[in-house]
Structure 1
Amino acid sequence: MGRNTFLRLVNEAKKEGRNILYEYEVKNLLKSYAIDTTNPVFIRNKEQLESLNNINFPCVMKVVSTQIAHKSDIGGVILNIKNKEELLEAFEKIKNNTEKKGIKIEGVIVEEEVEKGLEIIIGSYKDPIFGNVIMLGSGGIYVEAYKDVSFRIVPINKRDAYEMIDETIIGSILKGFRGIKYDIFSVIDALIKVSNLIEDNQEIVELDLNPIYVYSQGIKVVDGRLKFV
């Protein structure tokens, strides 16, 4: 199922001249590997947004574009939308923010707003010598500043996942800090499932799942991007 989902999404992207998957497509792929994510709905225009029903407020709106790596940097993410009126206002705000910067957008996604958890990142890249490499570290907007990461060559097993957690600062927090406990077993499970995803789909050259919220029970992938060849 996972491989078939990947091929379908990649074929659709190639028809549009893309070598990346949009966030909502990445989340569809993750779900096919039983990795828990938020539930985005892709909206191309205001008319589709006006006809959107069964929205769970509060919700989040995010821009969809091939030209944007960090959506929040250009005003492309709006949180805590409480009703339909605010939803339509958010669409206009994102549209204006991107137009001012000359950025072409494909639309937006609307998804439920979830409780914040401990932020981690799971990612991968294709190394010219070692091949597919998986990474775990501290997540969020400061991931590049912290440089708190651990790497392994794909595929990994449960022992590898444990060791990756042990090698990071965020790992000491995951294992329990000041009485706060997080679901370390769900992190291990996610690492192994992402490893399987990468192993199954050798066309992937870059995967970035950041942030992933870790809770006392379970995890939730909140954002993600993927590049393929």
Structure 2
Amino acid sequence: MSTTTENPVAAARRAGRNALDESAGKQLLALHGIKVPQSRVATSVADVDTVISGLQMPVVVKVMSPDILHKSDAGGVKINLRSAADVKAAIEDMLKAPKIKGARIEGFLIEEMAPAGHELVIGGLRDPQFGPLVMVGLGGIFVEILKDVSFRLCPISRIDAEEMLAELKGAAILNGARGTKPASLDAIIDVLLKVGGENGLLLQHATDISEADINPLIVSESAAVAVDARFILG
């Protein structure tokens, strides 16, 4: 994971941005002890050979643009790339995509693919009356169609986090239903507390972050990795 000495929220404010790009969002998560994939940023195809040195294949490439909110829908995400040639071809294809070629491109995030696991979403928002709220839900169809999520006011305790997970309609899936491997509930709870707990990022940045979205959080039997992150400032 590339790093910077300046807090990513402060850097975004100084630059006049109203959101963190994915790289900065993951820097913020890492500062709060949340695991993210190892990554580097390439500004062009010419940077690829240098940038990918030290990364373990396969990798994912994601376009970075303030004009593109949903990267996958725009053709701005390419997965399971196994060589520098694959990465270069993916970037060249992205630059030809109709929803990308007219956008402001700030670079391409190249990161190691996370191990397989259960997909969850953890997020938050700042309510004008009550302050920061934290949310957890199962990813994919569960959050998009079934709206299977649970909310709490910050700060939450470990007991709150456990109750939030128990409230999910699909909670049994996390325990390994239908022969699937179970997810580490401790790892999920740890991320929930680092986001919405007493010293969590939502309270530490309560005046800056209006919306937060870790989607997906990939959870295996032993760990949780934040694969994508979005933060809106306001």
2:183 matched residue in structure 1: 182
Using the TM superposition, give the Cα deviation of residue 50 of structure 1 relative to its aligned residue in structure 2, in angstroms.
Answer: 3.6
Question: How far apart, in 2, do the equivalents of 1:170 and 1:129 lie?
Answer: 30
Q: Which residue of 1 aligns with 2:21?
A: 22
2:190 and 2:114 mapped to 1: Cα distance?
A: 21
Quick one: distance in 2 between partners of 1:36 and 1:82? 23
Cα distance in 2 for partners of 1:105, 1:142 equals: 32
Q: For 2:97, what is the secondary structure of its paired residue?
A: helix
- The whole-number CA distance in structure 1 between the counterparts of 2:6 and 2:160 is 28
Query: The residue matched to 1:161 in structure 2 has which SS?
Result: helix
How far apart are residue 98 of structure 1 and its match? 5.2
Q: State the shift of 1:94 in Å.
A: 1.2
Structure 2 distance, partners of 1:109, 1:171, is 32
Given candidates 204, 207, 216, the residue that maps to 2:209 is 204
Q: After superposition, where does 1:9-48 map in structure 2 within 5 Å?
A: 9-48=8-47
SS in 2 for 1:71: coil
Verify the 8 A CA contact 1:6 1:29 in the aligned structure 2. Answer: no
Unaligned residue ranges in structure 1 (runs of 5+): none
CA distance, structure 1, for counterparts of residue 5 and residue 153 of structure 2: 21
Secondary structure (helix, strand or coil) at the match of 1:48 reads helix
Aligned to 2:69, the other structure's residue is in SS state: coil
- Tell me by how many angstroms 1:107 deviates: 1.0
- Residue pair 2:215, 2:229 contacting (<8 A) in 1 also: yes
CA drift at 1:178: 3.1
AA aligned to 1:25 is A
Contact kept, 8 Å, 1:140 with 1:210, in 2: the verdict is no
- Structure 1 pair 142/40, CA: closer, same or farther in 2 (3 Å)? farther
Partner of 1:216 in structure 2?
221
Structure 1 54/100 Cα, relative in aligned 2: closer, same or farther at 3 Å?
A: closer
Q: How does 1:142-157 map to 2 (within 5 A)?
A: 143-157=143-157
**TM-score with structure 1 setting the length:** 0.91
CA RMSD of aligned residues (A): 2.0
Total equivalences in the alignment: 225
Which residue pairs with 1:75 in the alignment? 75
Superposed CA deviations along residues 180-217 of structure 1, whole A, max 9, x for unmatched, are 32211111111011111111111111000000111111
Contact residue 6 and residue 201 of structure 1 kept, 8 A: no
SS of the counterpart of 1:173? helix
- Report the AA paired with residue 121 of structure 2: I
Is the CA contact 1:23–1:223 (under 8 Å) kept in the aligned structure 2?
Answer: yes
Equivalent position SS for 2:7: helix
For 1:197, the aligned partner's letter is L
Deviation at residue 93 of structure 1 after TM alignment: 1.0
CA–CA distance in 1 between the matches of 2:57 and 2:5?
Answer: 30
- Cα gap change, 1:6 to 1:48, in 2 (>3 Å): closer
Q: Deviations over 1:58-117 (max 9, x none)?
A: 111001111222111111000111111111111111111156662222111001112221
* Structure 1 stretches of at least 4 aligned residues deviating more than 6 Å after TM superposition: none
Q: Which residue of 2 aligns with 1:64?
A: 64
- For structure 2, which runs of at least 5 residues remain unmatched after alignment? none
Give the Cα separation in 1 of the matches to 2:90 and 2:146. Answer: 32
Q: Aligned partners of 2:203, 2:96: CA distance in 1, in Å?
A: 41
**CA–CA distance in 2 between the matches of 1:69 and 1:93?**
19
Of 218, 227, 231, the match for 1:226: 231
Tell me the residue number matched to 2:171: 171
Contact kept? 1:156, 1:192, Cα under 8 Å: yes
1:207 alignment partner, SS class: strand
